[in-house]
């Protein structure tokens, strides 16, 4: 599959995180000639925070993690790509339990300290041996992740992704970092989607605080993106804090929050830039709404509109579609107070096309890869930004052939 034209030029040189060990392996579950299993082993001091899909049909691994996220420690993470282990009945839960037990036995852990994630096709049962038969190889391959291993891990969790996703940020002027990998390309929508993100730091943070940091950062990043408005059964964001640096959150609270936000937003943007069939990265900013919740709903309505997304793909400044999407959002808006910009070009105000509007300037902006759409509702102080991509024939081609 061709790499997205919106992909970054290279995978970042992600630093090692104290106490973290990675390994990858190939199970052949769905893909040939590539890694599709990822294992992270963590020290006894590690805490975890997590946010999961809001789908009412969650996968077995999601249920497993949700039941254990408030535990005292997290010692291992095991992820497979190719099968979501969702809607697989009791067999799916047996697979989860079996995998957790094998990892626990191998590293002398409690199964409740093992976190699991799966991504891929929904509704296809499989035997746990497809994964567990490769645990010894994973254990033999464990080591501190150098930049190459970070990239291998990011590649191992891909499905329809066209490039591996990684990001890191230094925590203030300390020697500690936040670093992570993610996957996601389609079935991406606010409320999370078929995306996975695994983030690591060596700060010492309590589970309660790490959970709060994770939830706040996810809301500003992974819950503010959409590719196709479809929310998956499997999405999982896990943030692990090993405590190995000896640095406490107490002296790095603000810097950690900034770094975590940077990493999550950086990964979220890469997911949008790898949207299935995408050729344009679109930032939609709404201001002047009744409140922030209303602003986000309006921005999501614009971002999820197939008519808006196809107009951007065609580089067609059909701003009436943006008006339509604002009007259908179900939030307070007044036609004559609404203002809309494409790039820097004011296209509509006072209930009509702007007197200064020049379509050639709007079209010139749409000819680029990074697109800005701004909406000012004009009735309050609410604001929000959502990121999405255009909708092309490529999206249909990829999804029509996903299981073939």
Confidence of residue 191 (pLDDT cuts 50, 70, 90): very low
Mean pLDDT on 282-301: 98
Among candidate residues 222, 248, 273, the one where a domain is terminated: 273
Do 351 and 253 have their domain in common?
Answer: no
Q: pLDDT tens for residues 317-346?
A: 999 999 999 999 999 999 999 999 999 999
Task: Give a yes or no: residue 2 inside a domain.
Answer: no
At 341 the pLDDT is 99
Catalytic residue among 53, 88, 132, 194: 194
Do 301 and 193 have their domain in common?
Answer: no
Mean pLDDT on 15-28: 98
Do 342 and 308 have their domain in common?
Answer: yes
Do 224 and 344 have their domain in common?
Answer: no
Residue 367 in contact with residue 315, Cβ under 8 Å? yes
**Dmax of the chain from CA atoms?**
71
Do 257 and 293 have their domain in common?
Answer: no
Do 299 and 212 have their domain in common?
Answer: no
CA distance 137 to 132: 10
Do 289 and 353 have their domain in common?
Answer: yes
Total structural domains within the chain? 2
Dihedral in degrees, nearest 10, Cα atoms 18, 24, 29, 31: 120
Task: Give a yes or no: residue 88 inside a domain.
Answer: yes
At 404 the pLDDT is 45
Top pLDDT among 160 and 48 is at 48
Q: In percent, how much of the chain has pLDDT > 90?
A: 88
At 230 the pLDDT is 54
Mean pLDDT on 30-53: 96
CA distance 23 to 152: 9
3-state secondary structure of 269: helix
At 226 the pLDDT is 86
User: Is position 287 annotated as part of the catalytic site?
Assistant: no
> pTM for the whole thing?
0.94
- Where helices occur in 108-188 by DSSP H, the ranges are 129-132, 135-140, 147-156
3-state secondary structure of 51: strand
What residues contact 255, with CB distance under 8 A and at least 6 apart? 171, 172, 174
* Sheet bearing 114-121, strands edge to edge: 21-25, 37-41, 76-83, 114-121
Task: Give a yes or no: residue 14 inside a domain.
Answer: no
Do 245 and 317 have their domain in common?
Answer: no
Do 101 and 197 have their domain in common?
Answer: yes
Do 256 and 287 have their domain in common?
Answer: no
CA distance 238 to 295: 27
3-state secondary structure of 138: helix
Task: Give a yes or no: residue 15 inside a domain.
Answer: no
At 143 the pLDDT is 97
Task: Give a yes or no: residue 12 inside a domain.
Answer: no
Mean pLDDT on 267-279: 93
Task: Give a yes or no: residue 144 inside a domain.
Answer: yes
Q: pLDDT tens for residues 200-232?
A: 999 999 999 999 999 999 999 999 998 765 555
CATH of the domain at 211: 3.60.70.12
Among candidate residues 215, 239, 273, the one where a domain is terminated: 273
Do 217 and 345 have their domain in common?
Answer: no
Structural domain of 361: 281-400
Confidence of residue 193 (pLDDT cuts 50, 70, 90): very low
Q: pLDDT tens for residues 237-259?
A: 999 999 999 999 999 999 999 99
Do 269 and 302 have their domain in common?
Answer: no
Pairing state of beta strands 177-183 and 196-201?
Answer: antiparallel
pLDDT at 189 over 60: no
CA contacts within 13 A on the Cβ side of 122: 12
Top pLDDT among 309 and 400 is at 309
The whole-chain average pLDDT of the chain stands at 94
Task: Give a yes or no: residue 183 inside a domain.
Answer: yes
CATH of the domain at 303: 3.10.20.340
Among candidate residues 223, 257, 273, the one where a domain is terminated: 273
């Amino acid at each position: 599959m061709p790499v997205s034209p919106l992909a970054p030029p290279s995978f970042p040189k992600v630093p090692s995180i104290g106490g973290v060990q990675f390994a990858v392996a190939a199970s052949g579950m769905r893909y040939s000639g590539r890694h599709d299993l990822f294992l992270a082993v963590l020290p006894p001091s590690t805490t975890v925070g997590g946010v999961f899909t809001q789908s009412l049909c969650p996968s077995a691994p999601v249920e497993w993690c949700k039941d254990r996220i408030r535990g005292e420690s997290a010692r291992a993470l095991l992820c497979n790509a190719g099968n979501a282990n969702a809607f697989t009945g009791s067999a799916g839960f047996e697979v989860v339990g079996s995998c957790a037990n094998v990892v626990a036995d191998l590293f002398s852990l409690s199964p409740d300290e093992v976190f699991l994630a799966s991504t891929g096709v929904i509704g296809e049962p499989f035997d746990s041996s497809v994964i567990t038969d490769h645990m010894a190889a994973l254990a033999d391959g464990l080591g501190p992740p150098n930049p190459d291993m970070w990239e291998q891990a990011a590649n191992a969790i891909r499905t329809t992704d066209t490039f591996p996703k990684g990001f890191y940020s230094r925590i203030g002027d300390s020697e500690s970092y936040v670093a992570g990998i993610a996957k996601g390309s389609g079935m991406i929508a606010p409320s999370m989607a078929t995306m996975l993100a695994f983030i690591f730091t060596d700060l010492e943070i309590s589970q309660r605080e790490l959970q709060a940091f994770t939830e706040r950062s996810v809301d500003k990043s992974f819950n503010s993106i959409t590719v196709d408005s479809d929310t998956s059964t499997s999405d999982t964001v896990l943030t692990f804090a090993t405590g190995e640096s000896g640095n406490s959150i107490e002296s790095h609270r603000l810097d950690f929050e900034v770094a975590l936000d940077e990493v999550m937003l950086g990964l979220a943007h890469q997911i949008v830039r790898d949207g299935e069939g995408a050729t344009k990265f679109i930032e939609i900013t709404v201001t002047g709404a009744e409140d922030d919740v209303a602003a986000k709903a309006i921005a999501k309505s614009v971002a999820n509109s197939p008519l808006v997304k196809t107009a951007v793909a065609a580089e067609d400044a059909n701003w009436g579609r943006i008006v339509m999407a604002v009007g259908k959002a179900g939030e307070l808006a007044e036609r004559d107070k609404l203002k809309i910009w494409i790039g820097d070009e004011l296209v509509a105000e006072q209930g009509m096309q702007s007197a200064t509007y020049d379509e050639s300037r709007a079209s010139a902006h749409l000819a680029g890869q990074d697109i800005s759409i701004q909406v000012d509702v004009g009735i309050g102080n609410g604001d929000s930004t959502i990121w999405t991509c255009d909708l092309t024939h490529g999206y249909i081609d990829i999804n029509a052939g996903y299981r073939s």
